[in-house]
Amino acid sequence: MPILAKAYAFFDPSVSHVRALAARVVCQVLAGRSLSEVLPAALVGVPKAQHSFFKALCYGTLRWYPRLEFILGQLLRRPIKEADVHALALIGLHQLGHMAVKSHAAIAETVSAAKPWAKSLVNGILRNYQRRREELEALADADYEAEFGHPCWLRRKIEQAWPEQAAAILKANNQQAPLVVRVNLKRISRQAYSDRLAKQGLSARPVAGVDTALVIEPPVPVENLPGFAQGLVSVQDAAAQLAAPLLVAQPGQRVLDVCAAPGGKTLHILESCPEIAELVAVDIAPKRLEKIQENLIRARLSKVSLRCGDARRPQDWWDGELFARILVDAPCTATGVIRRHPDIKLLRRESDLATLVRLQRDILEAVWPLLSVGGMLLYATCSLLPEENEAQIQAFLSAHPDARCVPIEAEWGTVTGCGRQIWPGGDWDGFFYARLEKCVCG
């Protein structure tokens, strides 16, 4: 589905045109790079006043890519070989179909972003869409992939796993995720922080069932949040904020957090129980460990030992001392956080699932011996797929007589085997949690 054609520079590099820059970002994602990787660099060339609009162009075009691609195909006699022009046409269609941009402005500005030779092509595509909009949108609604803007394989997997909830999940994936923060309750109460927000003209509301969570409406740049630089709050989805309470770390315990970057759950564990003996945070990527360190400094937290290493090879980073608590925030398809990372629709492949399931299994097998008897392991993913969640945990329980399921009693999510599944929508990303206790064999 992604366009792999060579991305020629069909835009004047001396002109910092927001739509042209957005087309370059889309091209890079279509060529296999993640949005989180390319967007920060692109923002450098965008006037600050246009950051929100620029992000809306990039995120929205990628979010609706399967549908936009289908509609563009209906408007073309032959494919556009040049990737940049193709991406610009998609950005134009997104503005006309999904954004509150006046049609004449969307067309004129998108056409002006192209080099002279491509202006008539882009203009013709967008005006033809205008004339045929009702017909084209009806055709898209009748197409399996285009209807909800999801790759066929992903829509099929979601419908197989959650037939009753599938339509709501697919629609939720196409919504913009809210800005949710986690309040450090050791330093300020949620109400007191809400009051600070109100003094700055910002509104917030609590998330039911998550004592630390506030939704900021409308969302603002993180640097505009009072106390962020001092560690009073961190940006973290409500579902992700459940990890630390579920882990139930106790004073004096040694805690392991594997696949820890960027460190949101690491910080929350320490905020929840500053009296733990030590928290060992492991990640395979040195750059991502640097991000954890930055967050720890911002939050003024200590008692953390950062280790760079593969979670599947504890012999490279473990000191031999057992842990009372282990958090496995497992690598996964990330199908529960598509609304935050719409490029997942383009970058993830069905074949990735089997690879990730093996990786999750290998990590569980590797760290289980590091857990003390009576200790607890919390397994978490931001996936919606049973192969990565309840099936993974059931297979582990079947293979390990010393592992016992610890049920999660909660009002959020739904019970699935040993764990609980949360679907994306509203204040929540899609997440799965399961708790395992190590018991005495025999």
Spatial CA neighbour of 188 closest among 235, 226, 240, 243: 226
The Cα-based distances of 164 to 161, 168, 300, 333, 423 in angstroms read 9, 9, 45, 21, 12
Q: Half-sphere exposure of residue 166, counting CA atoms within 13 Å on the CB side?
A: 15
**In this structure, what DSSP letter does residue 282 have?**
E
Secondary structure tally for the chain: helices H, strands E: 17, 13
Phi, psi of 368 (to 5 degrees): -55, -40
Q: Cβ neighbours of residue 234 under 8 Å, at least 6 residues apart?
A: 181, 182, 184, 228, 264, 267, 268, 295, 299
Q: Which of 382, 405, 439, 441 is catalytic?
A: 382
Identity of the amino acid at 419: G
Beta bridge partners of 433: 380, 420
Phi, psi of 330 (to 5 degrees): -70, 140
**In this structure, what DSSP letter does residue 428 have?**
B
**In this structure, what DSSP letter does residue 230 have?**
T
Beta bridge partners of 431: 422
Neighbours of 226 (CB within 10 A): 14
Alpha carbons 98 and 102: distance in angstroms, whole number: 11
Q: Is 441 assigned a catalytic role?
A: no
Checking DSSP bridges between strand 210-217 and strand 431-438, what pairing results, if any? unpaired
Spatial CA neighbour of 34 closest among 42, 25, 43: 25
The Cα-based distances of 371 to 323, 392, 396 in angstroms read 5, 19, 15
**Residue 437 three-state SS:** strand
**Residue 213 three-state SS:** strand
- Could you tell me how many residues make up the chain? 442
Strand order in the sheet with 179-183: 203-207, 210-217, 179-183, 233-235
User: Residues 25, 105: contact at Cβ < 8 Å?
Assistant: no
**Residue 41 three-state SS:** helix
* Catalytic sites, residue numbers: 382
